Structure 1
Amino acid sequence: MGMSMNERDPSIYCLQGPDLLAPTNQGDLSDYRFVFKDLFDVEGYVTGAGNPKWLDTHSKAAHTSPVIQALLSKGAECVGRVQTDELAYSLNGDNVHYGTPINPLAPDSIPGGSSSGSAVAVALGHADFSIGTDTGGSVRVPASYCGLFGLRPSLGQLDLEHCFELSKSFDTVGIFSRELHVLASVFQSLTTDLPQSTPVETLYLDQDLAGILSAERRAQLDKWCDHAGISIQSVGFLDEMGLSLSALSLIFRTVQGFEIIEKHDQWLIEYGDTLDPRILERVKWARSLSKDDYLSAKSEQARFTQALTNAIKASNGLWLIPTTPAGPPKLEIDDDSLATYRTELMGLTSIAGLAGLPQLHLPMTDLNEGPVGVSLMGLPNSESQLIATAKVLLEERSV
């Protein structure tokens, strides 16, 4: 299904290319096509990071991302570079320069970002899987809004070399797919040394998070668990820690914001006025953070990570998280409502984010609230256990 460049939707695809990268070898991914987010370098092309001025002020990449090289060497064919929210500093999926790609599952709603093109291209069937990045939810959120499987791996699991850096404490390379077995194959191709795993028998759901699930989402989850013979245990972790979602969101945004300024301030001082005003607001807020704010948030992060990791270890299971507070917000939502929603959303995404844990989103696409779902979260390097458990929950027992 080749598309010439002039047929390509510029809200999804980046015009600078590459439009096509042939596989460099035969392998486990030989039948698959993929797209990649405009944060990954490909030798001879400029990485644009979702902003035309970034594109203009940077030169052609001298190297190709090792993740893209690995996929091509396993037989996958690359069919394009796709759009991101500006500098990946947003979870909406809109871009004032290139437009908002239409969410195929909910055309009146935002597609989610910042890996918007990565999600929409897969949801449309242009590609079998895609590569995005997830710092504060940029794979998990668009996967949820577009009805896809989405994996944010453990921090450091997949190679971020020759990829745009947003926030070094949180950046990860993530994967989208319509089918779980495809996502599993891609992940296995990128991590040859991880052991295969068996599903868990118990899932743990924090009582504060259980309250966020709508009745129909909870019913769907219970149905999955009943079929799979998996039980759900309630835990009071957040309450015992004395942490609200907005407190977690603030710890996360403080670390992220400080690191963004540390990395990109020079460029932002010169060209920040080319940014979407809502993203520029975020940059200005980040600039107001002191080194003390940062160090204090980093120590809160360390305390939270230690406690959560210990709790998951002790539970001997995987933990459930509502991936998003609700279905995707409508396109016409006002900025204030969206900002309030973002705080709650980032509270949810910051749990795995702060602790560097892997999180796998499982889509629920036939509910009244629109595309939503739940996620499985586990200890570092437990991705194959998340995938094995998801297969049982969704009755995808054989591949």
Structure 2
Amino acid sequence: MRGVEKALEEAKRRADLNHYLYINERAVDELELLRRSGRCGALCGVALAVKDNIEVAGMPTTNGAPYMKKMSDRTAPVVKTLLSEGAVVVGKTNMHELALGATNVNPHFGPAKNPHDPGRITGGSSGGSAGAVAVGAADLGIGTDTGGSVRIPAALCGVVGYKPPYGKIPTEGVLPLAQSLDHVGFLARTVKELVDVLSAVGWAPRGLQRPKRFRFAVLLGISEPTRYVEKAFWRAVAALESIGGERDEEFLNAARYSAARAALLLSEAAANYYGYLRSMGSQMGRDVATLLSAGAALPAVAYIVARRVKEEATAYFNSLFKKYDVVVTPTTATEAPRIEEVENVAVRPKLLAYTELFNLTGHPAISVPAPVSGLPVGLQIAAADEEVLLSIASAYEEEALLR
């Protein structure tokens, strides 16, 4: 890991990429104080990039919206736990307005730019955290994931994005979007670095054992990936097979699950931000205002049916995980779109189709880079068991790096 001083330097050097909305100029002094006082623990000097819907005392929080800006007087438990072991916040990161989007093209603060091609998106809504990790301006990014908002930017920026199981990481001090789907998640350059950090605070198992044999299913029929993504995905599948994976294929028509996730998201988001929609709707980005208005117009029956479908989806995947250790998909159905293309109505489902399933079910899921020589592509792995998931992701990473 690069540490606070180098991360801070890189954050300033790559300010053109617009990953940070606020930089903590005191970060190096805070680390030195921890060292002098003997309070620097297992994560001493780990540099944190915190999405700007997560509160850190003494730093501004905007939720990606200037009309919500405030100075925070509390620190979210997820951040506080990492700080207690000597990690330091480098800054607050750019995000999609209200976290209600998958592109991180923010009309108020500008788009977070992809480090592999600044003309393309990072993906969202945790795009600033993913970009900061990708360029070395943070060791660990903290984000939120309601439909893929950690895994999508991880895939498009070429880093690792992990969504733990629903409810594992506390969401206090995190501005909500849709409480039945919201997860706190993490971004790191490698699975190894991710596990090293999370295990230091008890959020991941230590001493992962490399699997000798495991069964996995490729989920087909969910979305049509681009040819570029498809080629990278099957190379990743070959890497899984080479570490002992026995492959099968399962066809899934996910349209019903996607509609349920959307109904839950829009209904709950509208309930959370209805007051802002009424008073600040003219200041909101068009996409966010449109989605909130759609959520406000949904009948109660749509929400109730969606809750039932959520239970149905969870039961389906629980049964699938009795047959397979993990299931895999591409993380996104497209490589990073160009910034000017994001208003195309086809972009949003191409980004969300695979990831949103596991917000609906709450199962842990991770995006790891697929073997490519151009724009990054993500492999999504999901499981019922975190230790199994992280063990296979770690073994895959070692194999994929050789390809």
Between the aligned partners of 1:208 and 1:88, the Cα distance in structure 2 is: 28
In the alignment, residue 221 of structure 2 is paired with which amino acid? D
> Partner of 1:185 in structure 2?
196
Question: In the alignment, is the contact (CA less than 8 A) between 2:102 and 2:123 conserved in 1?
Answer: yes
Provide the aligned length of Structure 1 versus Structure 2.
382
Alignment of 1:365-376 (within 5 A): 366-368=372-374, 370-376=375-381
Alignment of 1:141-290 (within 5 A): 141-191=152-202, 198=209, 199=211, 201-209=214-222, 212=225, 214=227, 215-236=230-251, 238=252, 244-290=253-299
Residue by residue, what CA displacement relative to the aligned partner does 1:166-211 show, whole Å, maximum 9, x if unpaired? Answer: 0001111111111221111222234358576543612111232596
> Partner of 1:13 in structure 2?
20
**5+ long unaligned stretches in structure 2:** 1-5
1:69 to 1:224, Cα distance in 2 relative to 1, 3 A: same
Residue by residue, what CA displacement relative to the aligned partner does 1:2-42 show, whole Å, maximum 9, x if unpaired? Answer: 44998745832224857638355322222421110001112
1:45 to 1:213, Cα distance in 2 relative to 1, 3 A: same
In the alignment, residue 75 of structure 1 is paired with which amino acid? G
Match of 1:383 among 355, 369, 386: 386
Alignment of 1:84-163 (within 5 A): 84-163=95-174
Helix, strand or coil at the partner of 1:14: strand
Between the aligned partners of 2:240 and 2:44, the Cα distance in structure 1 is: 34
Between the aligned partners of 1:193 and 1:33, the Cα distance in structure 2 is: 19
In the alignment, residue 386 of structure 2 is paired with which amino acid? E
Between the aligned partners of 1:310 and 1:197, the Cα distance in structure 2 is: 25
Offset at 1:213? Answer: 7.4
Question: In the alignment, is the contact (CA less than 8 A) between 2:365 and 2:381 conserved in 1?
Answer: yes
Confirm whether residue 42 of structure 1 aligns to residue 47 of structure 2.
Answer: no
Between the aligned partners of 2:324 and 2:234, the Cα distance in structure 1 is: 24
Q: Which moved more, 1:388-397 or 1:206-215?
A: 206-215
Helix, strand or coil at the partner of 1:109: strand
**5+ long unaligned stretches in structure 1:** 239-243
Confirm whether residue 324 of structure 1 aligns to residue 327 of structure 2.
Answer: no
| Structure holding more strand per residue | 2
Structure 1: 4+ residue segments shifted above 6 A: 4-7
1:184 to 1:101, Cα distance in 2 relative to 1, 3 A: same
Between the aligned partners of 1:196 and 1:41, the Cα distance in structure 2 is: 32
1:101 to 1:20, Cα distance in 2 relative to 1, 3 A: same
In the alignment, residue 145 of structure 1 is paired with which amino acid? L
> Partner of 1:64 in structure 2?
75
Offset at 1:83? Answer: 1.2
Between the aligned partners of 1:249 and 1:5, the Cα distance in structure 2 is: 36
Between the aligned partners of 1:133 and 1:265, the Cα distance in structure 2 is: 21
Helix, strand or coil at the partner of 1:166: coil
1:211 to 1:315, Cα distance in 2 relative to 1, 3 A: farther
Helix, strand or coil at the partner of 1:390: helix
Between the aligned partners of 2:341 and 2:25, the Cα distance in structure 1 is: 34
Question: In the alignment, is the contact (CA less than 8 A) between 1:134 and 1:171 conserved in 2?
Answer: yes
Between the aligned partners of 1:218 and 1:276, the Cα distance in structure 2 is: 34
Root-mean-square deviation (CA, aligned residues, Å) is 2.5
> Partner of 1:363 in structure 2?
369
1:41 to 1:222, Cα distance in 2 relative to 1, 3 A: closer
In the alignment, residue 317 of structure 1 is paired with which amino acid? D
Confirm whether residue 352 of structure 1 aligns to residue 366 of structure 2.
Answer: no
Question: In the alignment, is the contact (CA less than 8 A) between 2:122 and 2:153 conserved in 1?
Answer: yes
Between the aligned partners of 1:84 and 1:343, the Cα distance in structure 2 is: 19
Q: Which moved more, 1:20-29 or 1:88-97?
A: 20-29
> Partner of 1:241 in structure 2?
none
Question: In the alignment, is the contact (CA less than 8 A) between 1:19 and 1:81 conserved in 2?
Answer: no
Between the aligned partners of 2:138 and 2:235, the Cα distance in structure 1 is: 28
Residue by residue, what CA displacement relative to the aligned partner does 1:119-151 show, whole Å, maximum 9, x if unpaired? Answer: 111111111111111111110100000000000
Question: In the alignment, is the contact (CA less than 8 A) between 1:363 and 1:371 conserved in 2?
Answer: yes
Between the aligned partners of 2:171 and 2:51, the Cα distance in structure 1 is: 13
Question: In the alignment, is the contact (CA less than 8 A) between 2:17 and 2:118 conserved in 1?
Answer: no
1:53 to 1:192, Cα distance in 2 relative to 1, 3 A: closer
Helix, strand or coil at the partner of 2:173: coil
Helix, strand or coil at the partner of 1:328: coil
Offset at 1:62? Answer: 2.9
How high is the TM-score relative to the length of structure 1?
0.88
In the alignment, residue 343 of structure 1 is paired with which amino acid? P
Q: Which moved more, 1:253-262 or 1:39-48?
A: 39-48
State the identity %. 26
Offset at 1:262? Answer: 1.5
